[in-house]
Structure 1
Amino acid sequence: MEHPLRGEARDSGAVLVHKSIGGTDWWRTTERHSMDGPTLGFWHEGGDGFEVSAEICVNPKTQYDQATLFLYISPTQWVKAGIEFDADALWNGAVVCNPYSDWSIAKRRPEDSARYTIAYTHNEVKVYLGNDMIREVKWFGATRSNDATFGEALPGKVFVGIMACSPKDGGAEVSWKNFTFRQGVRAR
């Protein structure tokens, strides 16, 4: 969390534009632990849950360029959800690290919504593209014994915001529009 995202606000104040920085990423495997993708956001008490959303756009330059919503609990528990460029195409995707990165993607279509939402409650995270849930993970968040076998989740602060990175060269123009944050989560 030491690499703040730098960008410019456009005239409306509702759009943040940023050029990605090469050699940065959020990705965790048994062999690799990258946590240097620039972020912009705030710490929030988890409470009874919340939703964060934004419209995301990526004008890519190289493979793996990405712009996402970002939620961080610890070095082994975080979520990024947004658009990534791979195999000469844009992909809707979500990576949930719990404790290793688990990547799910679907090829982006012209009719797809640009709005991504992360809904967080203790023990659960859901990712939406428009109104459609594209990812759900149970047993997400800090617990008393850091595993899924012991009761109740622990309260705590969560970093909420946006992230852009380019594991290769960098220079992609990315933007977030109409960022929203609200207490509570939608009914299933």
Structure 2
Amino acid sequence: MDWSAMHWLNPPAKACHDAAGLHVTTGDQTDFWHGTYYGFQHHNGHFLHQAASGDFSLETAFRAAFSQQYDQAGLMIRADATHWVKCGIEYVGDTAHLAVVVTNGMSDWSQMPLPAYDGQLRLRLTRVGDAVWVQYQAGEVWKMLRLAYFPPELAVDAGVMCCSPSRAGLEVVFEEMALTPPISTEAY
């Protein structure tokens, strides 16, 4: 992955890349959320992206020492401020959760605890037509976390994201990222 060929939406406090991957340190009180329930609109999270057209799969492996409420890192696709999907680990109630937020005008949020989280996660987001599949790797098996609607006519940017809504200084290492033709989701 050529991290230097990608672009930041909201550059983080610190970012550099080396043979181990992309190292990111989040800024203070950063997040992506649009309206639902809480009423606020945050669009200041960190998103390193490139254009992605048609159907594709986006995959990453990352690690972080999550410790504060709502610390998060993972993948994102974004058309604009009101149409995007973020997925990955979100730290809620002192536990790592697999989480997905889909925003089509307003945000929604789904999550499930990941008590066996050992500090590293492999994650995949696949876009085919009007659908987005989010999967995570458990051992050698890819498991589906979410299947969501996303407007097929919208062009998107795709990449990695991280946020720390309650603090600054979450350190994340994205060990790799790949944007490829779509990987089959026929098992679902």
Per the TM superposition, whether the score is higher than 0.5 is yes
- What's the % identity of the aligned pairs? 28
Secondary structure at 1:170's aligned position in 2?
A: coil
> 1:116: which partner in 2?
123
Contact 2:86 2:101 (C-alpha < 8 Å) held by counterparts? yes
Secondary structure at 1:62's aligned position in 2?
A: coil
Secondary structure at 2:170's aligned position in 1?
A: strand
1:51: how far off? 0.4
* Aligned counterparts of 1:15 and 1:79: Cα–Cα separation in 2: 23
1:103: how far off? 1.0
> 2:146: which partner in 1?
135
* Aligned counterparts of 1:60 and 1:132: Cα–Cα separation in 2: 22
> 1:149: which partner in 2?
none
* Aligned counterparts of 2:95 and 2:126: Cα–Cα separation in 1: 27
* Aligned counterparts of 1:89 and 1:56: Cα–Cα separation in 2: 17
The count of corresponding residues between Structure 1 and Structure 2 is 171
Please give the residue correspondences for 1:143-162 in structure 2 after superposition, counting only pairs within 5 Å. Answer: 153-154=152-153, 156-162=154-160
1:44: how far off? 2.2
Deviations 1:28-78 (A, max 9, x none): 115221111011111122x2x000010122212421111121100122211
Question: Where does structure 2 lack aligned partners over 5 or more consecutive residues?
Answer: 1-7
Q: Provide the TM-score with structure 1 as the length reference.
A: 0.83
1:57 is aligned to 2:63: yes
Contact 1:56 1:82 (C-alpha < 8 Å) held by counterparts? no
> 1:145: which partner in 2?
none
1:41 is aligned to 2:52: no
Contact 1:58 1:83 (C-alpha < 8 Å) held by counterparts? no
Secondary structure at 2:175's aligned position in 1?
A: strand
1:109: how far off? 2.9
1:98 to 104, 107, 116: 104
* Aligned counterparts of 2:115 and 2:95: Cα–Cα separation in 1: 10
Question: Where does structure 1 lack aligned partners over 5 or more consecutive residues?
Answer: 142-152
Q: Which amino acid aligns with 1:184?
A: P
* Aligned counterparts of 1:99 and 1:185: Cα–Cα separation in 2: 28
Contact 1:62 1:170 (C-alpha < 8 Å) held by counterparts? no
1:2: how far off? 4.1
User: Which structure is larger by alpha-carbon Rg, 1 or 2?
Assistant: 1
Q: CA RMSD in A?
A: 1.9
Q: Provide the TM-score with structure 2 as the length reference.
A: 0.83
> 1:167: which partner in 2?
165
* Aligned counterparts of 1:71 and 1:52: Cα–Cα separation in 2: 9
1:16: how far off? 1.1
